Amino acid sequence: MPMPQPIPEDGELSELQELTFDEGFNDKWCEEMIGELEKRFQQLDADNSGMVDRDELKSALQGAANKMTDEEIQQLLDEFDMDANGGVDLQEFITIMHVRYLNQDEAENDMLDAFRLLDRDGDGVVTSEELHFAIQDALGDILSDQEAQALIAVADESSKGGITFEDFEKIVNFKE
């Protein structure tokens, strides 16, 4: 599957803008997701103009907008507004959400695949034995059982006796 193009800057056109509902998205995304995005767009488009403008975006971000400056809201609008006409239409909204969530889903799938390589018995928890075996298999005998246990103890935020996918995700993404 080809990687999505980056979001264009300064009003540049991209191949993503040329995707239509029939050509691009149905092959890559399910119709349910497009339907859900259409509903969300309609909620944002308070005046039913077919375009979300700056005021509608600011209103939709009520809680976050209190913390966001007008400049930050304008930057967000500019990011979504691919044709630089001052608002975001449905096609732009679906395109940008497609790019953002497709990349997120691919990264999460890669992370899940990496976790599964470590979780040899498939029980959802990487034990010190599994970690030791994986490191030994990949890098040689550079880690003792005690060192593997110490690594697990540090990473086991869920207190399940090993590293769960959630623990693994936090480690990989450097989250607290």
- Give per-residue pLDDT as tens, 30-55: 677 778 888 888 988 999 999 999 88
**Residues ≥6 apart with Cβ < 8 Å to 158:** 164, 166, 167
Largest pairwise CA distance in the chain: 65
In tens, the pLDDT along 58-99 reads 887 765 545 778 888 888 888 888 888 989 999 888 887 777
Question: How many angstroms from the chain centroid is the CA of residue 32?
Answer: 18
Cβ atoms 118, 139 nearer than 8 A: no
Tell me the C-alpha distance between 74 and 79, whole Å.
9
Q: Are 110 and 169 in contact (CB under 8 A)?
A: no
- For the entire predicted model, the pTM comes to 0.45
